[in-house]
Structure 1
């Protein structure tokens, strides 16, 4: 007899738990033995049920299906089948195939999709390579056949074919090649080494693919010693891969139940062209050279664009290359992406650049309808680019979507790293939308400016506070903080930038709910480019936190602006009166700034307070730009804490100086 029933039951239950896979390649080299026969041999085929009503010579000819998988199947619609199958008695493993198929097709009102689903789900629920059998299992039992699979004397394709035929479902075994874990991406396809088998089942007048082996077994941790991981999502690393065959793990992958032919073809290439089930069949050369794509690519609805690279092996031009894709705009806000960049250790290349860190040389752009990776290389060589993705509504584990091999014969001249490499990528994406922002002026990742001046407008649909951080590879962040300000005006956030010099800048925007404590999260990033070398932009006058207008703390302290609510003011006569209401226990202080030394010499503030109403008359006789910061402090506070409650930027047209005052700037001009 086989192993104890309790042991078998435990294995089956463990295998039935849904599992989302990490990045891996399905299949194990040499496990599914190639065969040219469509029907399993007697020793492999389950028997004991009335033969199906068709003959192998009378099966419908292979033709492309008229509908897509999503048109006939969904997990929700057929959940009742899974619930039934996953509660199957463990004793079925040691019984006959007749008993098994009687259980799996007991419901007479089930359609063919339900029957095929029952067979697929029962077979894939068994963790074949972890089954432990203490003695010889019962003859002609499912358990006996699973032990044959363990010994490479049978395979999943023959098992599924036999069960389908017993259930009255036309089913064939397809022989061909697949890109399993043994396949080296970009290498020549060899039929002898890549031989495999899978199934096609005739359901609702169409042939549909099933690969129970790839759906239930995957290799995790396979590594090649020829690659060094040099950039993991913007994090610098020089991690040499150690040779490892990985380990086979049992994880149910739903993609391989009824996958559409145009999606399965790039990993499964049949010997007979008709069994591609494609209106326009591909060649072996197409299969061999096509970019390596996996099921997560299709789950996320990613598509290639007219500008996309369809080949697996690419060559850079002038040391750079772009990998663009399209995304479904109705759900891409829930998508997240990561990448890993490897360098080949043995390929010819710039060995003098071995010590060059390759972090921040990949621009990752993610917007509502597009995904793009732009790579620049400071050294030559052979590289591998893995792109991972997930849907946050379904999983928190990134899975491989596609892989490219990139040959860079010549490094980019004067190649500098990007100013930053944000994990959420560049451009207006899901995080910005979830924060309640709307792209009004710029939705792409890159903004080009000739004069170094940029104005970005964002619609605000939530009560949030926006913060900015400007970064550059040369200029420090403290200095750059004076060249960017944000204000809220008429339901919009407006970000104003003045770049101090040419180059690339990262504008990182952070958001949290207004009045909410804690660190604000990064929601949006822009890459600002300016090729002008001779810029003369001056910084903004001092704004305490770079945000104009009312600050979050103002309401809590009971301070309210009576005269000016917007953060930007234009003074035609060089004079402005600012009025505020404050609690009687609060004292307000006005701080006036200018970057013009002459303006600083002549500017004045005249404060006045009457019954909690504070008035600041600001005099700015010299034409130019000024900033005002209003601070509040509690009267008698021994700690002398002071809070910034309002900030303004004032453009003054100036006025004539009073008698006795001299305008030094005019004297200089004369």
Structure 2
């Protein structure tokens, strides 16, 4: 008799959906415990079956749905029910009850069937336990169909036992019907090797080492790449598990430390889970030395339901030194989420491994397939949430999202990114990825974090693009200067009215507003924002615009200015509304003038017929061949301001309009 069967599963004719429905209706209509003999039931449920497979299927379904596991018998509270008559009469039985009824019904249906005894990784199984010199306690069946032997376990197909509540939970599981022997051997090891139905039977020692996989593991199409055996021993405090699959799968996990009789739960930060469209990797980082049980759960990626247990492993950590504490990750998976592509994220500059920085700063870039809105969350064990907000500066562009991160403490951080469709503000934000950051040096001083109340739109992006601004000289959100001065240029195609606001959280008393340190120059469609900073530090420069005088200004973006210079630059002149587009101030650029000194003025004012400087005297500037108004002006001693005025001269009008003013320092306050 040929018992080896590893590759003929597909030789069996499969039941059609219609056949399965008719068969199930017939089976479920049969009385259960009122029957006294199995022959009557067998004849009824197999009536109309066309072949042995249909007969066996009918017997299997009846067993799984009509016999409950005898928990009290298993626990020794009552006699175990094993004989077919008693099992059918009471509707209860232990494993041998299922196998004996199955064998008797098969014989009555003309199907060759055997009971198989052996070890099963079922009730009471504990990872690492030995079956050596131990009597086997489980039974199942082998059936012969079409000249080949197949395996089934109706006891496991009927449901599972909840030992905590000492109750049987009915949960039909079709996996254990004619299971592939290569899969069956991971949980069932027969006393007689030939009933493994394998070309190369494995020894009991190998069975003990095999990873325990549930039926859901195979149902989801998972393949365990590493480890091959259930026991993992850490190296340098770390071990890993990896799987592959062909359809989207979501994962989670549970880690507990063996400590006396009761396991001690370990938080999720002891694992680093990464899930892609085709693979999963779980890095295990036990917090201290010891033995740990690891349970892995999974669900279909197209399902938002509950996770199911798929496999278990054991981790031995010989290292006694505790590993560095990692941040909790409520989203479990690190790196881009498996669903990131469907959310519009194509790729990322960072993977699932920790990004290391010795400077205290990071930059994360997400490349997108469509415009997205982004929110970010940064956590670390010592980081206050209010401070965390000042560690992030985000830039939102049509094809990418950028998050700049500052780390005020050494150690590990979690950066979580949430995205939604930019054009659909009614949509909720969804987690697109979670990234582990490791700051090993250069922690940022708390006084040097990003300014408070930064917009989510820092630097040029979708807002500036929609407003018609382009060709920015500084394309990022951060602008660094070692001299304390910078010029930001761009094109203004829509002829917008622009405004800028400069802010610093703590600034020395200047005697003039901070806005005087920002100066606009318009040259045709080109706009230059000149900034001269009064002291070192971090500033926020907000760029605002409006299209007509009856509108409020709207924020287009914030720039973060990082000034490392110790120089203190004076303010620019104060400009008024008459300072028109196309006007250019060449000299003097500073808004503070020395007293009793001659100062050269050079300015271009389009359309002006006269340009004068009003001080102790009215000084007329002369128009040069290059269309620049020029002249030297004496600042005097008694004037606190010099005012630059211009007249269009239209209709012979001699009215002068103030376009700009300069402060003259007092003799006691010379710089």
TM-score, shorter chain, exceeding 0.5? yes
Contact 2:395 2:461 in 1 (8 A): no
Q: Whole-Å Cα distance in 1 between the matches of residues 58 and 21 of structure 2? A: 7
Q: Structure 1's 66 and 575: CA in aligned 2 closer, same or farther, altered over 3 A?
A: closer
Contact 1:363 1:375 in 2 (8 A): yes
- Are residues 1:170 and 2:112 paired? yes
Q: Whole-Å Cα distance in 2 between the matches of residues 461 and 358 of structure 1? A: 35
- Are residues 1:511 and 2:419 paired? yes
- Where structure 1 has 5 or more consecutive residues not aligned to the other structure, the ranges are 1-59, 132-140, 223-243, 609-613, 664-670
In the other structure, the counterpart of 1:574 is 487
Q: Aligned with 1:385: secondary structure?
A: strand
What's the offset of the Cα at 1:210?
A: 0.8
Q: Please, which of 147, 153, 156 is the counterpart of residue 211 of structure 1?
A: 153
TM-score (norm 1): 0.68
Contact 1:481 1:546 in 2 (8 A): no
In the other structure, the counterpart of 1:5 is none
Q: Please, which of 331, 348, 356 is the counterpart of residue 423 of structure 1?
A: 331
In the other structure, the counterpart of 1:241 is none
Contact 1:214 1:256 in 2 (8 A): yes
What's the offset of the Cα at 1:374?
A: 2.9
Contact 2:247 2:278 in 1 (8 A): no
Q: Whole-Å Cα distance in 1 between the matches of residues 247 and 430 of structure 2? A: 21
Q: Please, which of 113, 118, 124 is the counterpart of residue 64 of structure 2?
A: 124
TM-score (norm 2): 0.68
In the other structure, the counterpart of 2:3 is 62
Q: Structure 1's 357 and 168: CA in aligned 2 closer, same or farther, altered over 3 A?
A: closer
Q: Whole-Å Cα distance in 2 between the matches of residues 576 and 216 of structure 1? A: 73
In the other structure, the counterpart of 1:461 is 369
Most deviating of 522-531 and 533-542? 533-542
Q: Whole-Å Cα distance in 2 between the matches of residues 630 and 88 of structure 1? A: 75
What's the offset of the Cα at 1:81?
A: 1.1
Q: Structure 1's 383 and 286: CA in aligned 2 closer, same or farther, altered over 3 A?
A: same
In the other structure, the counterpart of 1:375 is 284
- Are residues 1:185 and 2:127 paired? yes
- Are residues 1:202 and 2:144 paired? yes
What's the offset of the Cα at 1:200?
A: 1.9
Contact 1:542 1:594 in 2 (8 A): no
In the other structure, the counterpart of 1:548 is 458
- Where structure 2 has 5 or more consecutive residues not aligned to the other structure, the ranges are 72-82, 571-586, 593-671
Q: Whole-Å Cα distance in 2 between the matches of residues 493 and 647 of structure 1? A: 15
In the other structure, the counterpart of 2:294 is 385
What's the offset of the Cα at 1:565?
A: 8.6
Contact 2:69 2:94 in 1 (8 A): no
Q: Aligned with 1:620: secondary structure?
A: strand
Number of residue equivalences? 545
What's the offset of the Cα at 1:605?
A: 4.6
What's the offset of the Cα at 1:505?
A: 1.6
What's the offset of the Cα at 1:154?
A: 5.7
Q: Please, which of 612, 620, 623 is the counterpart of residue 531 of structure 2?
A: 620
Q: Which is higher, the Rg of structure 1 or of structure 2?
A: 2
What's the offset of the Cα at 1:482?
A: 3.6
Q: Whole-Å Cα distance in 1 between the matches of residues 173 and 121 of structure 2? A: 16
Most deviating of 449-458 and 503-512? 449-458
Q: Whole-Å Cα distance in 2 between the matches of residues 501 and 150 of structure 1? A: 62
Q: Whole-Å Cα distance in 1 between the matches of residues 365 and 419 of structure 2? A: 15
What's the offset of the Cα at 1:486?
A: 3.0
Q: Whole-Å Cα distance in 2 between the matches of residues 175 and 101 of structure 1? A: 24
Q: Structure 1's 418 and 482: CA in aligned 2 closer, same or farther, altered over 3 A?
A: same
The structure with higher relative contact order (CA 8 Å, sep 6+) is 1
What's the offset of the Cα at 1:263?
A: 1.5
In the other structure, the counterpart of 2:501 is 591
| Higher normalized strand content (fraction of residues) | 2
Q: Whole-Å Cα distance in 2 between the matches of residues 650 and 114 of structure 1? A: 77
Q: 1:294-313 counterparts in 2 under 5 A? A: 294-305=214-225, 308-313=226-231
Q: Aligned with 2:336: secondary structure?
A: coil
- Are residues 1:293 and 2:213 paired? yes
